[in-house]
Amino acid sequence: MEAVADRGNAACTGRQNSGRAVGPYQRRRPAETVLYQLVQEHLETFLALNGDGTGEGLPGYVERDFRKYLDCGILARGFARARCTDCGEDFLIAFSCKARGACPSCNTRRMVEIAAHLVDHVIPPVPVRQWVLSLPKRLRGFLHRDPTLAGRVLRIFLEEVERALRRECPDAGEKARTGAVLFPHRFGSSLNAHYHFHACVIEGLYEAEDEDVRFHAVAELSEAAILQVQEQVRRRVLKAFVRWGLLEADARDEMLGWQHGGGFSLDASVRIAAEDREGLERLLRYCARPPLAAGHLQWVDARHEQLRYQLPKPMADGSAELILPALELLERLSAFIPPPRIHRHRYYGVLAPNAPLRPAVTALATEQTQADSEQATSASAGNGAEEAASEPSPSEEKPRRPAVSLWAMLLARIYELFPLVCPHCGGEVEIISFITEAPTVRAILTCPSASRAKRRRSLLAGGRRSGKCSTRRSNSIRSIRNRNTSSTRA
């Protein structure tokens, strides 16, 4: 089904204010975007230049990712057909490509879905700190080419972070563990190839206590402790590269003598308080963000040969934008597409899949989510007896399939847009079929129903005369918001 509307780096927006005006859902049109035009017009040339006939050109998954993106959100490739239960108006919802690197819309949906899942069902209500590790350029190429090697470096990094937390928790037992969610990044903010790690680490240690778990919180993590982690990671990684045969001993000794961290950079300045769940979700969206903000792209010339990319922050030389030839931008984007069957985020410590304490720790996150949902329900119950009476009771509401509710709730969670509410009369919209055969797709797209539009206009006119149209729309929006909140967050 069509993915979340393309909004680039929506990680910075966070959850929107539920009190703002709710607008009707508008189907996205990817063919009108600059990025889609770039791939559509220059992909074949790019593939021809990189296919030298020796078999050493672009990996096959890169070409497949770009071609799938060209089908994303295009009604001619198939769609879901939805219908309003009140006025009978039909809506067409294009399928998404679910690509892993090229499509900004599918990447944005994945970003929001991951952050929502981690906040609601994985990370307990405790302080969380973001650790960002960058390595010297001399070593980054190995991590780009070898995911297994990147995983080994990541484990060294997390082991040193856990040791630092253990030093700050003298009362914790030997088996106490922290928990973390890791996001390997293959890109930098200026669309450069920059392999580095973002780790959201629980600020403390968990250990088993009788039939429950006990949390040892870190009172304060000093700057000296963070620098010690950086130095230990530096020494262990360089030693490991020599042991793996990827670096000479003389080169290691030379790099150990470099000043200012020797190319290793560790930042741990961002800390989220235990009660700031919205701040945690914003941080997780930032860590899971796509490499490109498609809304920052513009064509420089009418011939579509050069593009301007507005940077999220100025570079070291003060430049706030990049001017790139079309083929160079495609080359940069191709380097950001991860290989298949490589996880986009990983778990560590008590949050690891097979960790003995994972069920007890993640249950704390679910309890917090249920408490927030009950509080929101209690607050909405005080909106007035008349509004409450007009809403359907939970037993009267029709249950929705999880996939449908999730797609609608992801849109509502970011933008307060409810695609399952009719924009014409406020009635509820139900998906009635999925159209994939080309003749049927062509017939529906080329033959709109005039009689259905006439029926909708007559129903709208009657609703305006009776004054019920706006009330029904408001009640439907409120009903879907409450139902999706309870079903997705509980």
Place of tokens 């970003």: 111
In 10 A of CB 386, how many CB atoms?
8
Residues of the chain with pLDDT below 70 are 1-25, 52-56, 372-418, 448-490
Distance in angstroms (rounded) separating the CA atoms of residues 23 and 413: 14
- In 3D, which of 66, 47, 8 has the Cα closest to residue 333? 66
Distance in angstroms (rounded) separating the CA atoms of residues 354 and 319: 46
Question: What's the pLDDT at 432?
Answer: 86
In a domain, 97, yes or no: yes
Element containing residue 287 per DSSP (H, E): helix 277-287
Helix (H, G, I), strand (E, B) or coil at 111: helix
Do both 347 and 398 map to the same domain? no
Do both 390 and 349 map to the same domain? no
In a domain, 383, yes or no: yes
In a domain, 2, yes or no: no
Do both 369 and 330 map to the same domain? no
Q: Exposed, middle or buried, 38 (CB in 10 Å: 0-12/13-18/19+)?
A: buried
In a domain, 116, yes or no: no
Question: What's the pLDDT at 233?
Answer: 96
Instruction: Read off φ and ψ for residue 60, nearest 5 degrees.
Output: -60, -35
Alpha-carbon torsion (424, 427, 430, 432), positive or negative? negative
Domain that holds residue 84: 10-103+364-489
Do both 369 and 355 map to the same domain? no
Question: What's the pLDDT at 468?
Answer: 42
What domain count does the chain have? 2
pTM score: 0.79
pLDDT digits (tens, 9 = 90+) for 41-88: 999 999 998 875 555 678 889 999 999 999 998 988 888 888 888 888
pLDDT digits (tens, 9 = 90+) for 385-399: 444 444 444 444 444
Last residue of a domain, one of 359, 392, 420: 359
Last residue of a domain, one of 296, 326, 359: 359
Instruction: Read off φ and ψ for residue 384, nearest 5 degrees.
Output: 125, 145
Do both 152 and 83 map to the same domain? no
In 10 A of CB 473, how many CB atoms?
20
- In 3D, which of 269, 276, 344 has the Cα closest to residue 123? 276
What separation in angstroms does the CA of 350 have from each of 124, 208, 405?
A: 11, 11, 30
- The alpha helices in 179-248, defined as continuous H runs, are 223-243
Question: What's the pLDDT at 477?
Answer: 44
